[in-house]
């Protein structure tokens, strides 16, 4: 029995890297091929998150512009008149209005 135990011990010391390689391979396969934890899927999600964050920033900038514009209209009569004239293409009797379309 002592000889057999020594052989088994020797074999385990020589092949101890084998279980580590097998477990490592399984972990890598799970990361790349499992649909829920796929690296590709996570990269797609991260790209979508970045895209939405850019859109949020753009909308925040737009909201700040319109908020400032609204406050200017509420505080000044000249600004209100300017906005009304721009929106409804109104003109004074003494001026010419040119519409530029893109």
- Report pLDDT digits (tens) over 9-68: 777 777 777 777 788 888 888 777 777 777 778 889 999 999 999 999 999 988 998 898
Judge contact between 31 and 39, C-beta under 8 A. yes
Q: Do the beta carbons of residue 71 and residue 79 sit within 8 Å?
A: no
Question: For position 1, what pLDDT does the model report?
Answer: 64
The dihedral of CA 65, 66, 71, 72: what is its sign? positive
The residue with tokens 């209005």 is: 97
Residue written as token pair 């379309």: 101
Q: Are 80 and 72 spatial neighbours (Cβ–Cβ below 8 Å)?
A: no
Which one is predicted more confidently, 11 or 5? 5
């Amino acid at each position: 029995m002592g000889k057999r135990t020594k052989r088994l011990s020797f074999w385990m010391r020589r092949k101890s890297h084998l279980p580590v390689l097998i477990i490592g391979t399984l972990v890598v396969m799970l990361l790349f091929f499992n649909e829920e934890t796929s690296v590709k899927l996570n990269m797609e999600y991260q790209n979508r998150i970045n895209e939405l964050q850019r859109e949020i920033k753009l909308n925040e900038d737009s909201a700040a512009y319109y908020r400032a514009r609204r406050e200017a209209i509420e505080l000044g009569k000249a600004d209100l008149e300017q906005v009304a004239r721009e929106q409804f293409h109104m003109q004074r009797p003494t001026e010419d209005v040119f519409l530029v379309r893109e």
